[in-house]
A and B are shown apart, each in its own frame.
Chain A
Amino acid sequence: MSDDLWVYSDKVKNHFTNPKNILEVDEKEYDYDGKGQVGSPACGDMMVVYIKVENQKIKDFKWKTFGCASAIASTSVLSEMVTRNGGMSLEKAYEITPEQIIENLEGLPANKIHCSVLGDKALRAAIDDYFKKQEKKNPYKDEDVEIVCECFNISKEDIRMEVLEGATNFSILQARTKIGTQCGKCIDKTKKLLKEYVDKYYKEKIYNPEKD
């Protein structure tokens, strides 16, 4: 190996060059219990994940991803995270966060954080789909969302997702969501939350090859 800096961590490189658990057959032949799809070709990222469930655990996980190296590596590492040690419980899997994926990838460059968001989103969609197919209510789905901006019905979770998708300052967030443009009551709280999320996602776990 040369000492040249690669754009991603070794872990991302490994998952990108040698991805695990790709769905190799037609989806109809893979007898899945739940399917989740996020993104679109126009956005530059699209992910479809399939799960098989046994005893409320993820017994198998297969995926297909269109996207950059970090999107591919994110899905691949996620497939390992949820299937190791006999499979992750649906409850735990439903709570997987982008930062867990990023951590398992040994960090992502700051401009790639949004790629990791798709994996956990797709997984939750697949679990939702599993419960829907079972005609059961998803007990892990948190219906109790804290609304920050009442004028535009924007929740804490909405803000968190926007940050992960690249809204790293207040003007971007506002341009995307209109948050705080009506009564303005929520601006202070929004700015505080924004700082908290930006610190969390863009400062602590960033992969930067030029940093010692």
Chain B
Amino acid sequence: MDIYLDNNATTPLHPEVKKEIKNFLNNYGNPSSMHETGRKVKSKIKKARENVAEFFDAPANDIIFTASGSESNNTVLKSVLFNNYDFTPHIITTNIEHPAVLETARFLEKNGIEVSYLNVNKDGVVTPEQVLKEIKDNTVLVSIMWANNEIGTLQPIREIGEILEDKDILFHSDAVQAAGKIKLSLRKSKLDFASFSGHKIYAPKGIGVLYFKNFEKNKKTLVPLIHGGHQEKGFRASTENTIGIVAIGKACEQLNKEIDDEIKRIKNLRDLFEKKVEKEIDDIIINGKKAPRLPGTSNITFKRVEGESILLRLDLNGIRVSTGSACSTGSLDPSHVLMAISNKAEVAHGSVRFTFGRENTKKDVDRTVKILKKEINTLRKMSPIK
């Protein structure tokens, strides 16, 4: 049996989501149609929106369905460009963002917008003080990810929100990695916008969410990315991805019931895994261990061996993980997060990310540690580093 430990990359469908999709497949109606075939689907979308809203603790009116977390991120950031300010706008983000934010920010820069990229401290976190220091008269948007995908560090979104509250600055968070792994309350967050993705919370690929605080009142603050229809209250044209919407609605409904227990169970698995790895394998570093981080993320550096070769050897044993090693991505630069917390390129090159999800068990932990020990041992025998 394969062991899937790459739940920060994507998640398997929740069994209830699978059932929901199967049951829905005959509902081919266009929710915009007036007739019953369409109206039936429309009411299912309404229900899904309510479920998503409830899970993230937000009003249903403020939930916009998109095609991905990346689309949601692009919509928020590119609005700074499309809004045609009569001054040069400035935005603040971090250098540990997902490429959907980072590369969009660079695109904005090319188009004349000022961007500040904050560095994370040695715990992998940006502080509210850093944000405050960077704010200028022309700052219009702050975009900071909620949880980092590589080591899972949590950013102080609530505290940063408090700093920005009395200022005329919009606040966005890419919450794709945090969703479903920790309990989120958008109402308490002071965020204006947040991005989510279905496939990280046991729903399919191709469905995303944009949280848009007080949509009715504030809809002019953003510019739609896709024009051409009245869907999503006129903000996001395209005939709805009805299967995706129904699926993410179901996923949120299920997670809402499970999340408290699952957070504990997954954290226990992760902690057990780290304890066993520490016991069985020497010369390791658990990255971000002391920082506040996601319960299911474990990022470990195995000294003297390179991440990609560990990944591929585990893969050949049926264990699916991911690596922060530059070699695997084709870029030669090691990860910003790992560099920030360790200041050593070696740490990034030898790092492997294990991310636990709702399907993982204690047995997975035992088998993974056993195989990991064997493969690390083999690779270390090949290594010239002492």
Pair from one complex: yes
Smallest CB separation, B305 vs chain A (Å): 7
Contacts of A17 in B (CB 8 A): 313, 316
A-contacting 9-mer, from B178-186, B194-202, B320-328: B320-328
Q: Are A16 and B345 in contact (CB under 8 A)?
A: no
Cβ of A66 and Cβ of B316 under 8 Å apart? Answer: no
Beyond A66-B305, A68-B309, A72-B309, whether A44 also contacts B332 by CB under 8 A is yes
* Given the contacts A42-B346, A47-B384, A64-B382, A69 and B309 also touching, CB distance less than 8 Å: yes
CA distance in complex: A201, B202 (Å)? 42
- Complex alpha-carbon distance, A47 and B330, angstroms: 19
Distance, CA A47 to CA B332, complexed state (A): 17
Residues 94-129 of B, flagged 1 when their CB comes within 8 A of A and 0 if not, give 000000000000000000000000000000000000
| Chain A residues within an 8 Å CB radius of B325 | 44, 68
Residues of B in contact with A, size category: 20 to 34
Whether B345 and A66, one on each chain, are in contact in the complex, defined by CB atoms closer than 8 angstroms, is no
**Nearest CB in chain B: distance from A54 CB, A:** 24
In the complex the two chains form, is B312's CB within 8 Å of A67's CB? no
A24 to B383: give the CA distance in the assembly, Å: 10
**CB-CB nearest in chain B for A47:** B384
How many residues of chain A have a CB within 8 Å of chain B? 27
Are B385 and A46 neighbours in the complex by a CB distance under 8 Å?
Answer: yes
The interface bits of chain A over 9-21 (1 if a CB of B lies within 8 angstroms of the residue's CB, else 0) are 0000000110100
A41 touches B346 (CB 8 A): yes
Residues of B within 8 A of A67 (CB): 306, 309, 327
In the complex, chain A residues 1-41 whose Cβ is within 8 Å of any chain B Cβ: 7, 16-17, 19, 22, 24, 37, 41
Residue among B309, B313, B326, B330 having the largest count of chain A Cβ atoms under 10 Å = B309
Question: Which of B316, B328, B381, B382 has the most chain A CB atoms inside 10 A of its CB?
Answer: B382
Residues of B within 8 Å of A42, CB to CB, are: 344-346, 349
Cross-chain contact B345 with A43 (CB below 8 angstroms):
yes
Interface check B304, CB cutoff 8 A: yes
Residues in B with CB closer than 8 Å to A114 are 332
Q: Let me know if A44 and B381 touch, CB within 8 A.
A: no
**Are A41 and B309 within 8 A (Cβ)?**
no
* B384 and A37 contacting across the interface, CB-CB below 8 Å: yes
Q: How far is A211 from B224 in the complex, measured between Cα atoms in Å?
A: 37
Inter-chain CA distance A148–B381, complex, in Å, is 42
Interface residue from B316, B327, B346, B381 paired with A68 (Cβ < 8 Å) = B327
Closest residue to B383 on the A side, CB-wise? A66
Any B CB within 8 A of the CB of A65:
yes
Q: Are B312 and A65 in contact (CB under 8 A)?
A: no
A15 to chain B, nearest CB (A): 11
Q: How far is the CA of A166 from the CA of B333 in the complex (A)?
A: 12
Q: How far is the CB of A111 from chain B (nearest CB, A)?
A: 3
Verify if B308 is at the interface (C-beta below 8 Å from A).
Answer: yes
Jot down 22 A-B pairs with beta carbons below 8 A, ordered by A: A17-B316, A22-B382, A37-B384, A41-B345, A41-B349, A42-B345, A42-B346, A42-B349, A43-B345, A44-B327, A44-B349, A64-B382, A65-B382, A66-B304, A66-B305, A66-B306, A66-B384, A66-B385, A67-B306, A67-B327, A114-B332, A166-B332
Residues of chain A at the chain B interface (Cβ within 8 Å): 7, 16-17, 19, 22, 24, 37, 41-48, 64-69, 71-72, 111, 114-115, 166
Q: List the 8 shortest-distance A-B pairs measured between CB atoms, nearest first.
A: A111-B330, A64-B384, A68-B308, A68-B327, A48-B384, A44-B349, A42-B345, A41-B346
